[in-house]
Chain A
């Protein structure tokens, strides 16, 4: 049946937690009540990306984008837009500093600058219906790969595309596939393909969104990969913190089996391949290839030395090809549209060597102190400035940009001087950070860089598996030193000590978790050394974060005596009469910051 309009409600994790299921139910109720059920269809899509404004929905074919919706808005929305055809301006998105709301998707800067390849189906299909995926050319690439291409041709196409691993390493996928295939043929054993969905980097949720919004693209990529490599068994190793993604993936696998796209005799050929989902149990180190494979085997996730690669001896000593979710999701499109289409996006010339550039697009989670937080996909080579200021809409409350952190705990912080740098694998590495899996955390002048470095080291100290000494002890000692600095007890020699320990860890750690662990410290020392000096020499925290070095004050000129901070304060440190400026007693203050949260006039200062 043809519908006049479609209401595409976001059912990504962000919007679900803002009540998008309830919103969807209310809209369905309203549609039924007004007898529109035959004309308007409601679809629950995966993450649409604009998480900051949730819950969001799009009305097609008008392309009108609504955000920040409440259940009470539903009757108006349905009556005005869906019944009378008059879009409701009040519920549309208004970009920061823009005079009026912007009605359509393509006019919103957040969406307009993006290039959707991996996320091509986002907000358009119901991730729980394979029919929707097929209607958008899904599984066409699989038919092409199985019908018209030899495994060698598939590998050659991926090699030519210059597709590099999206999980952070940036290793050329085609090269990896070829090595794995050869190792399996050489040893006469069956290889394994694995999808790494153990997205552990804090501040990153690309893989989660891809699986939640388009699980079949990952499955199709894996089946094509398995065909090229010669595997019959595959795994998806997924974090247990992602229940919605796990459910949707399991459902998608069942549907693919029912459609003959997975299992025995795929698409009527003699090719057999099936995928099992394996859950992690909360260990960051299991994103590392050898640790992941140990965990797949039901063991403790400790990495091993990698003088023998996992493409030769991986899961149960079989040649194992591990790629990240986003890498797999790129595969069907490359097969469908060809390598030349893929290399037209991005930087460098990858025609004879994939290491020479970065082709295609990259999905980032743009979060932190930025107006438009959410999930974005951009062509490689776009500048940080375009991402943060055009797509991201700049820094909230007119504050100053200080740094952007990429690459998760293995990456680094880049200052404003690097804003015009192109974003690709090699430029980011050269600047002392890395691409990583795609977390991009924006920081403003109220973020303390020493505290950020300490945060990452503290994170890694807890997540270090403890197998090798440089990582286990190096992290612990680095954390001690950084903690001392943030408490105002740092010494002049501390920075040299941090650099020395970092050097040892880079050289001597067993796996990438340890050898890249000093990066947050080294990059912040490189670009924000003055902040370290302020902590050590002057015992101040310029950003007003480090608890031991700051105190709170009430701006007597701004305070209107509303009493909100008095109510919020748990120690009775703030006193004053209603309608008269209040006073803060430093002796009673525990520096919890509740008063800052409570104050609507920004009259409480951290200094």
Chain B
């Protein structure tokens, strides 16, 4: 059950202003890890904006997710430096290892896999982040070890 009182508190902190919709939604997402329908509706009521306006922001910006995400969010960096150092192959490898595609979450809700345009640590390319941890100069062969740090028996659980 989504705790809508938290939504109200967040919206109130931002002065119930439509100008702050992006900041409000970012905080809601931090709280609920994604933006469920009822949160979007509640925000819309509270800032007196049409649901469509709130939804348009939630779908326009890449930072928002309307679907629930896993406990560990994996982001494969797709910046130019990472790309030339083989990021696409790395993404394929993580995807194979977890049995999910980009934008999906494992059925046990442990990992979700996504890409990010550039994390700005190009000196470490290719880079993958899991939550807030940065894994730089990663090779395909290093992926199982990286995943095991978060879920020891991920292979048994996710497949």
**A residues neighboring B (CB under 8 Å):** 13-14, 16-18, 50-52, 54, 199-205, 208-209, 240-243, 278-284, 295, 297-301, 365, 367-369, 373-374, 405, 408, 439, 441, 443, 447, 452, 455-456, 459, 463, 465, 564, 568, 570, 592-594, 597-598
Contact = CB atoms under 8 A, between A and B. Distances in A.
B117 A279 contact: no
Contacts of B134: 13, 16-17
A348 B150 CA distance: 55
Contact of A54 (B56, B63, B123, B135): B123
B60 A205 contact: no
B133 to A, nearest CB: 8
A459 B117 contact: yes
A546 to B, nearest CB: 11
Nearest to A598: B141
Given A205-B122, A441-B84, A279 B136 contact: no
Contacts of A18: 124, 136
Contact of A568 (B64, B78, B135, B141): B141
Contacts of A405: 80
Contacts of B79: 202-203
Contact of B123 (A51, A204, A298, A463): A51
B80 A592 contact: no
B71 to A, nearest CB: 19
A447 B155 CA distance: 33
Contacts, number: 160
B80 to A, nearest CB: 3
B86 A593 contact: yes
- 3 closest residue pairs by CB, A with B: A51-B123, A17-B134, A203-B80
B139 interface: yes
A205 B118 contact: yes
Contacts of B121: 13-14, 17, 51, 205
A373 B85 CA distance: 13
Given A298-B22, A443-B84, A592 B124 contact: no
A437 B17 CA distance: 33
Contacts of A408: 80
Contacts of A443: 84
* B-side interface size class: 35 or more
Contacts of A568: 140-141
A447 B85 CA distance: 9
B146 interface: no
B118 A593 contact: no
Contact of B81 (A13, A367, A459, A463): A367
B57 A14 contact: no
A570 B22 CA distance: 43
A365 B122 contact: yes
B115 to A, nearest CB: 9
Nearest to A599: B141
A343 B121 CA distance: 32
A593 B140 contact: yes
A51 B122 contact: yes
Given A373-B81, A570-B96, A592-B96, A13 B140 contact: no
Interface in B132-159: 132-136, 139-141
A301 B92 contact: no
B19 interface: yes
A570 B92 CA distance: 12
Instruction: From B18, B20, B120, name the one whose CB has the most chain A CB atoms within 10 angstroms.
Output: B120
Contacts of A297: 19
B20 A298 contact: yes
B83 interface: yes
A367 B123 contact: yes
A526 B92 CA distance: 31
Nearest to B21: A298
B19 to A, nearest CB: 4
Interface string B90-132: 0011001000000000000000000011111111110100001
